[in-house]
Amino acid sequence: MEAKRATESRIVNTDQVLTCDLNNYNTLFGGVLMKKLDSCATLSARRHARAKECVTASTDSIDFLCPIHQTDSVCIESFVSFTGKTSMEIFCKVIAEDMMNGNRRIAATAFLTFVALGEDKKPLEVPAVIPETEEEKFLFETADGRAEMRKIRRTKSKELAKNITLSKPWD
């Protein structure tokens, strides 16, 4: 399987902030942004794997760095930053732009992991990724540390799941 450049999976989506997207602080709901991130990351994964179906395996973190206001546009850029045999790490950055003065800022960053599925719903092998820009190279070179943290977190999550109840609090 031939490796692909990171830029081949790049998705850029810019949107306005609508009043229905705002919370009681008049800033963008975190959940609205999370949905937008997952949507862009899914397209990056599908573009890289050329698969009909790619599923979110995990979300490492979504770091909200500054609020996004109604006067801002929201630009989400996502691309495959690293791959394993069947998994793809997708990096997302959120750029908020004040439409009144043009000032831009990094509003959030996120890492999501996806797995491409075949017709049989089993994981497909995915192409390796080739980083080219300084940003892509930095993300690629630091991916091992994030992957190790993911493994630790998954082990801890499984341990937690074994020790919590399934009973409903109202039973």
Spans in the chain with pLDDT lower than 70: none
- For 127-170, what is each residue's pLDDT tens digit? 999 999 999 999 999 999 999 999 999 999 999 999 998 888 88
Residue 144 lies in a domain: yes
pLDDT at 97: 98
Residue 90 lies in a domain: yes
Determine the Cα–Cα distance for residues 46 and 107; give it in Å rounded to an integer: 25
pLDDT at 112: 97
How far from each other are the two terminal CA atoms of the chain, in whole angstroms?
53
Tell me the residue range of the domain where 137 lies: 4-162
pLDDT at 171: 76
Beta bridge partners of 78: 11, 92
Total domains in the fold of the chain: 1
The enclosing domain of 139 has a CATH number of: 3.10.129.10
pLDDT at 170: 84
Instruction: Tally DSSP H helices, then E strands, for the chain.
Output: 3, 7
Residue 170 lies in a domain: no
Determine the Cα–Cα distance for residues 6 and 15; give it in Å rounded to an integer: 23
Residue 153 lies in a domain: yes
